[in-house]
Amino acid sequence: MKFSDIPGQKEIKDKLISSVSRERVSHAQLFAGPEGCGNLALALAYAQYISCENRTPRDSCGTCKSCIKYEKMIHPDLHFVFPVIKDKKNDESVSDNYIAQWREFVKSSPFFSLNNWLNAIEVGNAQGLIFASEASEIIRKLSLKAFESDFKIMIIWLPEKMHLATANKLLKMIEEPPERTLFLLVSDESDKIIPTILSRCQLVKIPSFRKEDITSYLIERFGILKGRAEDISRVAGGNIIRSAELCQSEDTSTQNLDRFKSLMRFAWKKDIISLITWSEEVAAIGREAQKAFLSFMLRLVRENLMLTLDQGKNQLVFLTGEEGDFSKKFHPFINQGNINAFADELNLAYSHIEANGNAKIIFLDLSLKIARLIIR
């Protein structure tokens, strides 16, 4: 991954390149930003630039032995840690059990969410975590000398998913790593990382993409017309992952909208039997998909409030075509009188799902509460 492969983010790229040229590379860095900001891609490009044998003032060469191995993600001094699931086939749940799938998945596109990754490895109802057994593997790998490059680089994707026992075991190593060792932590929710890890990392704060950068990316990658790319980039709100999903018209977005419509229709009718059936259906889709659906609902509720307050100006509303068509009639039901209660219930359901609560009970409780909040 070269810096030139990543749209926009010029200020961040310049900062990272400058740190290498001035030999001011911190041993532990946290690439933090909202989902879809390209933090993983930037970490990969940065690692490749550090290890490049013929780097230029602006980018890695892309042709040396190191770059070729980085492009294939098989460089012996590049290591990965990422959320996985408990594997019945293996005694220890570590990233190396999925490394072949990870390499192929990242090579297809470095812009993806946790839900995308877990769907790719078909986790079902399990949640992805970085388990305690990973810590021993990290310590073992980084205790070895570098094979080919000046630095051993460990990229930890989503350290907020790290089990507390894992984090505690790594504290000493992150604070005082072996010689010529770099930790690059890539986070979408840095507020969920334990403070002792945060305090040991240099923060690289990454903003969302600009609309024009997403527009250019969509035109180049998917070959769509400029007008459609501009519409998608506006709705995506700086999230390049969401823009790609909208561009590809993934079934997930349509399914989530259909689930939302059904819930609101049943809640408005106070159809308890249908709400029970609905909650059972949503409970069967898997925890990561459930969390993604709840996040989708939060966004749609927010957009409908903006539609209610915007009075037809549409300057603050970011909805796709189908979402917009539905919201034209639905938005009056979301207003200043019930928005806080809506948001509280959705956030509560999200936290309960994340804590491995009973999904059927959680979604039934949520649907019944929404039925009280929807006023005819």
The predicted pLDDT at position 279 comes to 95
Q: What is the pLDDT of residues 180-209, one digit of tens each?
A: 899 999 999 999 999 999 999 999 999 999
Q: What is the mean pLDDT of the chain?
A: 88
Q: What is the pLDDT of residues 250-278, one digit of tens each?
A: 556 778 889 999 999 999 999 999 999 99
- Domain locations along the chain: 3-207, 212-248, 249-373
Quick one: 204 exposed, middle or buried, by C-beta within 10 A (0-12, 13-18, 19+)? buried
| Paired residues of 202 in beta bridges | 29
Read off φ and ψ for residue 345, nearest 5 degrees: -70, -40
What pTM does this model have? 0.75
Q: What is the pLDDT of residues 338-375, one digit of tens each?
A: 999 999 999 999 999 988 899 999 999 999 999 999 87
Please check the confidence at residue 2 and state whether its pLDDT lies above 90: yes
Q: Which CATH superfamily is domain 3-207 in?
A: P-loop containing nucleotide triphosphate hydrolases (3.40.50.300)
How many C-alpha atoms does 94 have within 13 Å on its Cβ side? 17
Please check the confidence at residue 89 and state whether its pLDDT lies above 80: no
The predicted pLDDT at position 243 comes to 86
Please check the confidence at residue 313 and state whether its pLDDT lies above 60: no
For the stretch 302-338, what's the b/e string if a residue is b when 16 or more beta carbons lie within 10 angstroms of its beta carbon?
Answer: bbbbbbbeeeeeeeebebbeebbebbeebbebbeeeb
**Range with top average pLDDT, 38-52, 128-142, 164-178, 319-333:** 38-52
Reported as a pLDDT band with limits 50, 70 and 90, residue 249 is: low
| Spatial distance between the Cα atoms of 244 and 198, rounded to a whole number of angstroms | 31
Reported as a pLDDT band with limits 50, 70 and 90, residue 86 is: confident
